A and B are shown apart, each in its own frame.
Chain A
Amino acid sequence: MSNVFVDNKSFNFKHEAKYSAKSEPGINKGLIEEISSYKNEPESMLKQRLNSLEVFKNTKKPGFGVDTSNLDIQKIIPYLRPEANKGNNWDDVPYEIKDTFERLGIPESERKALAGVGAQYDSEVVYQNIKKELENIGVVFLDMETAVKEFPELVRKYFMKLVPANDHKYAALHGAIWSGGSFVYVPENTEVSLPLQAYFRMNAQGTGQFEHTLIVADRGSKVHFIEGCSAPRYNIHNLHAGMVEIFVKEGASVRYSTIQNWSKNTFNLNTKRAIVEENGTMEWISGSLGSEKTMLYPATILKGKRAHAYHLGVTYAGDGQHMDTGSKVIHLGSETTSNIDVRSISVNGGWAFYRGLLKIAKGAKRSRSSVKCTSLMVDNDSRADTYPVIEVENNLSDIGHEAKIGRIGEEELFYIMSRGLTEDDAKAMIVRGFIEPITKELPLEYAVELNRLINIEMDSSIG
């Protein structure tokens, strides 16, 4: 089998469409057309999907990051079909996931939705109230698929303009098969007082493997968006390739908070990017706990004068996990500022790799940036690397950089244990302390849940 080499070009059928999607393997034009027509999309979106598909076929995998050799894209096809039976069986959901639901005290009604086995979480009532309030101030908060139909101009203007299909292979894949996600538009000088939570939008159809989130914060507006939820999410298809694009207009301010906790069979190859105009502020608050392998580098492009970026992130790499994460900030405008504080924890053989980029372009005169990356290895089996790249193209800017990799100190551990805590509890306490700067930025219920998750994770890995 391994000796048979098939040259794709020589088997390039001209009329793929006439082949039924069922008989031909692979993600192809027929399948994309099927998805698009089922979603009743405008022609322009179908075109964009097909262009992305072409790019996907002609692009190599990134030459860095996690090993994706056992990621089988073909496996996701059955789940892409609109009529596919999405309902996984509750009995197939792994024990650890059910156990975590139990220990987190997730209500019965939500568990099935989180595990992707149907039964929509009944958030409709809560959501309807919020929706009314939002409508009154002119804020649009819709699922992406509805937005494509109801706000075609806005979508055409922004959708995949910040992360085009040719950005990388999985961006192209996303462009071809995306489904679900959220669309947010905040009008000029409007402040959304409550955080918008994608949680309310979650449903059985779009548990979010390929969700697209698009946020446009118009001049002088302010919004906080919270993605997903921290409870573990199980999906039988093992790939998550979502995308987030955020447009921060003049003087606007956006905070985007996430706690990612995909089940341990998942490749999490996600793309998040924001572009900030003059005097605008973008804040990424991220926690990456789940998945088997993750590649995720939230990025901010500081385009306008005095634009500001704040990246705060924590990555947790436990047993069998390889997390390749980091922050990217590109300073284009003058007097732009950024503040990056990212931390990783590796436990029980986990591998946390920090891959960061800070670029100060020639025109970004008098810019300032502070980059801090800190790694904590809880035991000797674990691994942490940092690979920060800093490129500065003018000599009028001011950069501070600090990278630290450390282990839990014997002395700290002994101290805490001498007050009666077990080694596991003491380690978990030190880890909670290590990520405190992130948890304190999260809404309370997320912070509490993140701490409990860390306890559960550490409990099962060390204990």
Chain B
Amino acid sequence: MGGRSVSLLKIEDLHVKLVDEDIEILKGINLDIKSGETHAIMGPNGSGKSTLANIIMGNPKYKVTSGKIIYDGEIINDLGVAERANRGIFLSFQHPPEINGIKLRNFLFTTKQKNNKTSMIEMNREVETIIKNMRMSSDFLNRFLNVGFSGGEKKKNEVMQLAFLKKKLAILDEVDSGLDVDALRDIANIVNEYKNNSNGLLLITHYKRILEYIVPDNVHILMSGRIISSGGKELAEQVEQSGYSFAVAESEE
């Protein structure tokens, strides 16, 4: 990395617990995502991947016991969820909740207006374009938020929101799980279109498959709350071939 790009997200020796239970989930995470970079975090179930995604967004279910989350040069450990979002952090949920009575269009426009005074006409044009590019029906906009959406539709809806809200740091938590090849390609297209030199991407996944469409600069292996191995995209290949055990062996050397 040419040293010229600045850190968008820097995580220093981060320890995290559940608020309700005295169990440490993350045990000293270090991460540095610079503007323009894509990082992938891979790891088996229960390794702490989703916890990492959620603590960056500020989910009140989790608490930081020590360490720092630095976004855009500022420690954000104590910032509220909305404030983080308004500074540019976006989380694509692994399991987006279904919320009755709120139409997707209304949700999108209300959230967009928080940061950005765009006209209704302009917002409509923008969202219709994204929807079309994702090969979704514009009926979606008149449906209630995630209610009755299929698994794939929910994931598309998450990425659609990212494209529409144009946040600076995107955390995609298992956006690829349960998707068929076509849907995965649609999502990857939108994400690749979103990427530029001033934003950053943190991809959380089980599988290498998505990394063929969205190519990462760095890959990290997360096991039992620790990053045990970091490298380039070739690391994902090794996981695919030998499973996570090779990384464990490596880290124990």
Verify if B144 is at the interface (C-beta below 8 Å from A): yes
Verify if A99 is at the interface (C-beta below 8 Å from B): no
* Given A420-B86, A422-B82, A437-B101: A414 in contact with B59 (beta carbons within 8 A): yes
Decide: A434 and B101 in contact? CB cutoff 8 A.
Answer: yes
Task: Give Cα A432–Cα B145 distance, bound, in whole angstroms.
Answer: 13
Decide: B97 and A417 in contact? CB cutoff 8 A.
Answer: no
Decide: B57 and A418 in contact? CB cutoff 8 A.
Answer: yes
* Given A420-B114, A421-B111, A433-B102: A415 in contact with B86 (beta carbons within 8 A): no
Verify if B161 is at the interface (C-beta below 8 Å from A): yes
Verify if A7 is at the interface (C-beta below 8 Å from B): no
Decide: A415 and B93 in contact? CB cutoff 8 A.
Answer: yes
Decide: B102 and A421 in contact? CB cutoff 8 A.
Answer: no
Task: Give Cα A357–Cα B165 distance, bound, in whole angstroms.
Answer: 48
Partner of A411, one of B97, B111, B115: B97
**Which B residues lie within 8 Å of A415 (CB)?**
93, 96-97, 99
Distance of B83 from chain A, by nearest CB (Å):
9
Verify if A409 is at the interface (C-beta below 8 Å from B): yes
Decide: A410 and B60 in contact? CB cutoff 8 A.
Answer: yes
Distance of B105 from chain A, by nearest CB (Å):
13
Task: Give Cα A430–Cα B60 distance, bound, in whole angstroms.
Answer: 18
How many residues belonging to A are interface residues under a CB distance threshold of 8 Å? 23
**Which B residues lie within 8 Å of A435 (CB)?**
101
Verify if B91 is at the interface (C-beta below 8 Å from A): yes
The interface bits of chain B over 35-77 (1 if a CB of A lies within 8 angstroms of the residue's CB, else 0) are 0000000000000000000000111110000000000000000
**Which B residues lie within 8 Å of A419 (CB)?**
85, 107, 111, 114, 161, 165
Interface residues of B in 76-110 (CB under 8 A from A): 80-82, 84-86, 90-91, 93, 96-97, 99-102, 107, 110
**Which B residues lie within 8 Å of A434 (CB)?**
100-101
**Which B residues lie within 8 Å of A432 (CB)?**
101-102
Interface residues of A in 415-451 (CB under 8 A from B): 415-423, 426, 429-430, 432-437
Task: Give Cα A426–Cα B114 distance, bound, in whole angstroms.
Answer: 12
Chain A residue with Cβ nearest B86: A420
Decide: B85 and A418 in contact? CB cutoff 8 A.
Answer: yes
| A interface SS class | helix
Task: Give Cα A436–Cα B107 distance, bound, in whole angstroms.
Answer: 14
Verify if A133 is at the interface (C-beta below 8 Å from B): no
**Which B residues lie within 8 Å of A420 (CB)?**
82, 85-86, 111, 114-115, 165
The interface bits of chain B over 148-167 (1 if a CB of A lies within 8 angstroms of the residue's CB, else 0) are 00000000000001000100
Task: Give Cα A415–Cα B251 distance, bound, in whole angstroms.
Answer: 36
Task: Give Cα A415–Cα B82 distance, bound, in whole angstroms.
Answer: 10
Distance of B154 from chain A, by nearest CB (Å):
11
Task: Give Cα A430–Cα B101 distance, bound, in whole angstroms.
Answer: 8
Task: Give Cα A430–Cα B91 distance, bound, in whole angstroms.
Answer: 20
Distance of A407 from chain B, by nearest CB (Å):
14
**Which B residues lie within 8 Å of A426 (CB)?**
82
Partner of A423, one of B82, B97, B145: B82
Task: Give Cα A422–Cα B165 distance, bound, in whole angstroms.
Answer: 16
Distance of A268 from chain B, by nearest CB (Å):
26
Task: Give Cα A411–Cα B97 distance, bound, in whole angstroms.
Answer: 7
- Kindly name the residue among B59, B60, B86, B99 whose own CB sees the greatest number of chain A CB atoms within 10 A: B99
Decide: A436 and B110 in contact? CB cutoff 8 A.
Answer: no
Verify if A412 is at the interface (C-beta below 8 Å from B): yes
Decide: B102 and A429 in contact? CB cutoff 8 A.
Answer: yes
Partner of B100, one of A410, A418, A433: A433
Task: Give Cα A429–Cα B57 distance, bound, in whole angstroms.
Answer: 20
Chain B residue with Cβ nearest A437: B101
* Given A419-B161, A419-B165: A430 in contact with B99 (beta carbons within 8 A): yes
Task: Give Cα A418–Cα B85 distance, bound, in whole angstroms.
Answer: 6
Decide: B99 and A416 in contact? CB cutoff 8 A.
Answer: yes
Decide: A417 and B82 in contact? CB cutoff 8 A.
Answer: yes
**Which B residues lie within 8 Å of A436 (CB)?**
100-102
Distance of B115 from chain A, by nearest CB (Å):
6
Distance of A316 from chain B, by nearest CB (Å):
15
Interface residues of A in 59-109 (CB under 8 A from B): none
Distance of B88 from chain A, by nearest CB (Å):
10
Task: Give Cα A434–Cα B99 distance, bound, in whole angstroms.
Answer: 9
**Which B residues lie within 8 Å of A412 (CB)?**
97, 99
Decide: B61 and A418 in contact? CB cutoff 8 A.
Answer: no
Partner of B101, one of A409, A411, A423, A433: A433
Task: Give Cα A298–Cα B80 distance, bound, in whole angstroms.
Answer: 44
Distance of B160 from chain A, by nearest CB (Å):
12
- Kindly name the residue among B61, B81, B86, B97 whose own CB sees the greatest number of chain A CB atoms within 10 A: B81
Decide: A433 and B97 in contact? CB cutoff 8 A.
Answer: no
- Kindly name the residue among B80, B85, B101, B165 whose own CB sees the greatest number of chain A CB atoms within 10 A: B101
The interface bits of chain A over 251-283 (1 if a CB of B lies within 8 angstroms of the residue's CB, else 0) are 000000000000000000000000000000000
**Which A residues lie within 8 Å of B60 (CB)?**
410, 414
Chain A residue with Cβ nearest B111: A419
**Which B residues lie within 8 Å of A422 (CB)?**
80, 82
Supply 8 A–B pairs (Cβ within 8 Å), ascending by A: A414-B59, A415-B97, A416-B99, A418-B91, A421-B82, A429-B107, A434-B101, A436-B101
13 more contacts with CB within 8 A, not counting A416-B99, A417-B81, A437-B101, are A414-B61, A415-B96, A415-B97, A417-B82, A418-B91, A419-B111, A420-B111, A420-B114, A421-B110, A422-B80, A422-B82, A429-B102, A433-B99
Query: 8 tightest A-B contacts by CB?
Result: A433-B101, A436-B101, A420-B85, A419-B111, A417-B81, A433-B102, A420-B114, A411-B97
